Amino acid sequence: MVGQDALRAHLVAAGLAGTVSTTREQSLVRYRLFAAGDPRALLGLEPEGVWDLRRLLTLMGSRCGNSPDPRVVTGRETIDPALTLSALDVFADRLARAASLRSPVLLGTGHPGALLGFYGALAAALEGAGCRVLTPAEGRCIDLATRFGVRACTLSYVRGVALVREGATLCAPDAPGAHTHSPLPLRLALDALAAAGEPLPGLVIGDHGWACGAGQLGVEAIGPADVNDPAPFVGEAEGRVAVAVPVDDAARPGSYRALTRYVLNRACLSQ
């Protein structure tokens, strides 16, 4: 069992909260892209309100604990571990509700290198509680914009968690997943469910375009979000993303195990 005090200390020691690896410069670039309506920062969200830089800074300061001062333009960002813990409690409560209802769930990540283990453990626990872990559109090809241009990618599932791999054919099970912010994999998965006459997920658990894309379409969505990604927090503020947990989303994979144990224990899903 991981208590709040121990988890708080771990968050700071592992760089998941406290002073994190994300720089202020990275955050400001993303905030400005979001304010300009750039799809690379919207992550599938269509904001209802007007979110200029100053309003975004205020929101992110309240949700993540970093500085709302626009004059702060350099240095490492901070995430208040108290805000992370508070959001994890709500995240765990949503997991518990999905388990009690035996809701079908869909899990997906644009950060497979860091977060696959975290989501995989949640998928196993929810399946053990009677939830159906959905894996629609496996092996389907999708064109995604990358820093190298538009590339054909394949939707794959590992331990019940959706990710994309570069290439137009189903890859080897140990092929690395690609980093993506796109909501298109989520839309492909939901389209496949609808085409097959299958029920939509009662809960989507994911980051980036998985959470924001689901929330935009009216599907309950929860997940972690870094301090330089304002879209999940705007979605939460506007009532479309149910829970955005402020945490560094690109740390060492093993550092998320304590978060997994904490939320599964709180949700009474510990295995």
pLDDT at 171 over 80: no
pLDDT digits (tens, 9 = 90+) for 36-80: 999 999 999 999 999 999 999 999 999 999 999 999 999 999 999
Whether 1 and 266 have beta carbons less than 8 Å apart is answered as no
pLDDT on residue 166: 86
In this structure, which topology does domain 4-266 adopt according to CATH? Answer: Rossmann fold (3.40.50)
Question: pTM score, two decimals?
Answer: 0.95
Q: Higher model confidence: residue 171 or residue 73?
A: 73
Q: Apex CA 199: angle with CA 201 and CA 189, to 5°?
A: 60
Give phi and psi for 233, each to the nearest 5: -75, -35
pLDDT digits (tens, 9 = 90+) for 236-245: 999 999 999 9
Tokens found for residue 239: 């009532």
- pLDDT level of residue 174 (50, 70, 90 thresholds): low
Give phi and psi for 19, each to the nearest 5: -80, 120
> Average model confidence (pLDDT) for the chain?
95
Give phi and psi for 212, each to the nearest 5: -70, -40
Whether 257 and 117 have beta carbons less than 8 Å apart is answered as yes
For residues 168-191, give the mean pLDDT: 81
What is the number of helices (H) and of strands (E) in the chain? 10, 9
The alpha-helical segments, DSSP class H, found in the chain are 4-13, 24-35, 39-42, 53-64, 81-101, 112-128, 184-195, 208-216, 230-237, 257-266
pLDDT at 147 over 60: yes
Q: What percent of the chain has pLDDT over 90?
A: 89
For residues 162-187, give the mean pLDDT: 81
